[in-house]
Amino acid sequence: EAQVTQNPRYLITVTGKKLTVTCSQNMNHEYMSWYRQDPGLGLRQIYYSMNVEVTDKGDVPEGYKVSRKEKRNFPLILESPSPNQTSLYFCASSFRSYNEQFFGPGTRLTVL
Amino acid sequence: GQQVMQIPQYQHVQEGEDFTTYCNSSTTLSNIQWYKQRPGGHPVFLIQLVKSGEVKKQKRLTFQFGEAKKNSSLHITATQTTDVGTYFCAGRPLRFGAGTRLTVKP
């Protein structure tokens, strides 16, 4: 089944404790991206990747890192999480940047 | 940078009434995509519009792309409870509107 998977689905952590949210797709998509969703603000892009080893900042990259060492995986790294990073995070992939995006199920992160 | 504004933010309708959400951009868009997110779910792609003035239909849903490619609309005829959710537009380069949350009273 074609899908985008994210782990974990839920995470409660404390300020400053490094964490990684994994994202994987099995559709051989070139384009992958991370979004955060906050009430009233819609989906805001954090980082995106056009292909392996090619990543770029989205609209809200501060406090986040990503890597794209393999085509299928695009982890989101929070080196030192802060409470303002409490949000719902979605990973998405598409064949190219202008094609329809397939979203993962989301990761709800709470930073205390 | 490119801004994509979406209105209204919320819409509550009686089942059977029509619903429309509008998406407006400050710049010309290459294309526009529409997504639906059910409560507790993830966004799911509905459609993509590319051509100026394009109109596409999916059953009770009608999507329109403006002549100047700066605005778009999604119209649902005779809403049903299954239409509940948040509808997002996304202009290329990919920036999402804030979404319109639709609730339907049976």
Three-class DSSP labels, A79-103: CCCCHHHCEEEEEEEECCCCCCCEE
B1 touches chain A (CB under 8 A): yes
CA distance B90 to chain A (A): 9
- Cβ separation B92–A106 shorter than 8 A: no
What tokens appear for B58 in the block? Answer: 């999916």
Interface touch A43/B92, C-beta < 8 Å:
no
What is the per-residue pLDDT for B26? 87
B21 near A CB under 8 A:
no
CB pair distance less than 8 Å for A97 and B92: yes
Which pLDDT score, from 0 to 100, does residue B94 have? 72
| Residues A71, A80, A20: CA angle, nearest 5 degrees | 30
Q: Which residues of chain B are within 8 Å of residue A101 when distances are taken between CB atoms? A: 33, 35, 43, 45, 90, 94
Strand partners for A23: A6
Q: How many CB pairs below 8 Å do chains A and B form together?
A: 49
Residue B1's pLDDT is what? 52
Tell me whether residues A41 and B98 touch, CB distance under 8 A: yes
Cα–Cα distances (Å) from B99 to A67, A84, B69, in that order, read 29, 21, 19
Between chains, do A45 and B42 touch, taking CB under 8 Å as contact?
no
pLDDT tens, residue by residue, A37-48:
998 888 999 999
Among B62, B66, B3, B2, which residue's Cα sits nearest to residue B34? B62
| Minimal Cβ distance to B48: which of A35, A48, A100 | A100
Minimum-distance CB partner of A42 among B42, B45, B96: B96
Pairing of strands A107-111, A54-57: unpaired
* pLDDT 10s digits, A59-106: 999 999 999 999 999 999 999 999 999 999 999 999 999 899 999 999
CB < 8 Å to A100, chain B: 33, 45, 48
Per-residue pLDDT of chain B (106 residues; tens, 9 = 90+): 557 899 999 999 999 999 999 999 988 999 999 999 999 999 999 999 999 999 999 999 999 999 999 999 999 999 999 999 999 999 977 789 999 999 999 9
CB contact under 8 A, B97 and A41: no
